Structure 1
């Protein structure tokens, strides 16, 4: 670690210039703190007149807390569940930023007559947590696709019934 602060220490090792440079670059890369990903799960809904507009306004208020150093992202898992994430080398700063965004979202949605609940408070997530989130999102997409397919089937059946009824009405009209 000392060689990282004072590169002249490596000159005592008898290494050539190129090797010293490669070694210093490797040391710097290893000692640079890695960004941690921080996540929070929230439920945001509004069943009043404002509805989805209130939810959008609340989420935008939370996104307004995002900065270049601490970018905040909000993704839908399945209504009314949203996941908030940020990545930063400083764990405490990231947790604080998400907490502030959560407070803004809560204030905005409750002021508009909506409901808010924290499902998971801001915490550092691991690769395992990320894999679980990806699985949840895929599951939600699959469920939405099934619902959409069910709706299409109902529409086709209804259209089929309408087609059957129309000729029978015309036949009835022709007999009169």
Structure 2
């Protein structure tokens, strides 16, 4: 399978051309007098054409508003001339359901292709040969290689050990014989598993909600603390809930989870439990930002904000210590003062 200069260009699927009435992902290359020339991204960028009459069901007033060079989008296959290599496409005939299905399939195929291409490049393999013996057999068996790759993350041998190839050898008697051998070497197999695990192992999402909690009653600080405990108790082993003070009266609730919807649901339950508890003591909880998945950038901004508030609090505490020495006012409960009751 190895060559000095491996071929790294290959279509994603076994079929060289798409089927008629199939939605495919394209990228617009240029716009001509009759229509737009596009590349079929899943089929090694073979060329297709969208006639202007197939851009929209409505009267076209501005072509540029309907199609732009460089844009990627799903379109419908109208005709395929395999001999001449002509592929006619339509934008106006693709439905919302077709678009959703095409985008989902393309995103999976693009990830599989990226992994396959990286393995071929690093192991000096012909990409099409790797697809012939590994990728396309997995497409046939699992419906999509993406589904097989998900299984490989936890149990690679059950998927990959079943893949074989036939090789011809000359026997002792001079006759050519066919032998069945593993589809790839152990080195290639290890490289494929490593890349799949690196790219496809699920990463926990951080879900966060921002709330304001106030309570002006006697022992209001204690009531807020109890409400926070109720919020944290709403979590579970899969989605533990943590609540932190940013600056009175602003708090953030967070959880980490592999399931975004579950994480959002758990935080909503936590907010509900916290609200019910603080309402009992005539306090108030206001949701400033509803539960949502946050990025590393959001995390860093929150961490920076917490550091600034901590530094400011330390400065206030230092000033308080000096005043205590001068006036003899006694000790202050700094923990409670940090959570505080907001005027």
**Using CA pairs below 8 Å that are at least 6 residues apart, which structure has the higher relative contact order?**
1
Tell me what 2:212 maps to: 43
Q: Give secondary structure in 1 for the equivalent of 2:213.
A: strand
Tell me what 1:116 maps to: 285
Any stretches of 5+ residues in structure 2 without a counterpart?
Answer: 1-111, 113-144, 152-158, 166-181, 329-343
Q: Give secondary structure in 1 for the equivalent of 2:238.
A: coil
Aligned residue runs from structure 1 range 74-153, under 5 A: 74-153=243-322
Does structure 2 retain, via aligned residues, the 8 Å contact 1:38–1:122? yes
Tell me how far apart the structure 2 counterparts of residues 11 and 153 of structure 1 sit (CA, whole Å): 79
The structure carrying a bigger helix percent of its residues is 1
Q: Give secondary structure in 1 for the equivalent of 2:252.
A: strand
Tell me what 2:242 maps to: 73
Does structure 2 retain, via aligned residues, the 8 Å contact 1:45–1:55? yes
- How well do the aligned residues superpose, as a CA RMSD in angstroms? 2.1
Tell me what 1:54 maps to: 223
The superposition leaves residues 12-66 of structure 1 with CA deviations (integer Å, 9 ceiling, x where unpaired) of 4742235314422431442232211111111222211241221111111111111
Tell me how far apart the structure 1 counterparts of residues 309 and 301 of structure 2 sit (CA, whole Å): 12
Does structure 2 retain, via aligned residues, the 8 Å contact 1:109–1:115? yes
Any stretches of 5+ residues in structure 1 without a counterpart?
Answer: 160-176
Tell me what 1:165 maps to: none
- TM-score normalized with structure 1 length: 0.80
Between structure 1 and structure 2, the one with the greater Rg is 2
Tell me how far apart the structure 2 counterparts of residues 77 and 117 of structure 1 sit (CA, whole Å): 15
Tell me how far apart the structure 2 counterparts of residues 157 and 24 of structure 1 sit (CA, whole Å): 68
Q: How many residues align?
A: 159
CA positional deviation for 1:67: 0.8
Tell me how far apart the structure 1 counterparts of residues 201 and 253 of structure 2 sit (CA, whole Å): 25
The structure carrying a bigger strand percent of its residues is 2
- TM-score normalized with structure 2 length: 0.43
